[in-house]
Amino acid sequence: MYCPICNEYKGFMGEVCEPCQKIKKIVELYSNEKVLGVLETTLLRSPNQIDKKLDFLKEKKDEKKN
């Protein structure tokens, strides 16, 4: 059986895996909206942030060449 949340194989028992149980508890404590908001602001980047990161990496690469 697979965990119904992350779809990782967990053996014959069709239960939620331990990491997903922790996530479920956090969502129960703080609400879907709050958890999603934190994930979006900490893990996702806007197109502007992506462009800045690419520029930074390009500059860093150019500095190593010199």
pLDDT tens-digit map of 39-62: 999 999 989 999 999 999 999 988
Count of residues for the chain?
66
The answer to whether the beta carbons of residues 25 and 35 sit under 8 Å apart is: no
The answer to whether the beta carbons of residues 64 and 57 sit under 8 Å apart is: no
4: Cβ contacts below 8 Å, ≥ 6 apart = 14, 16
**Residue 37 lies in domain:** 31-65
The pTM of this model reads: 0.62
Residue 57 falls within a domain, yes or no? yes
The per-residue pLDDT for range 1-54, each reduced to its tens digit, is 888 888 888 777 668 888 999 999 999 999 999 999 999 999 999 899 999 999
Residue 20 falls within a domain, yes or no? no
Number of compact structural domains in the chain: 1
Count of CB atoms situated within 10 Å of the CB of 27: 14
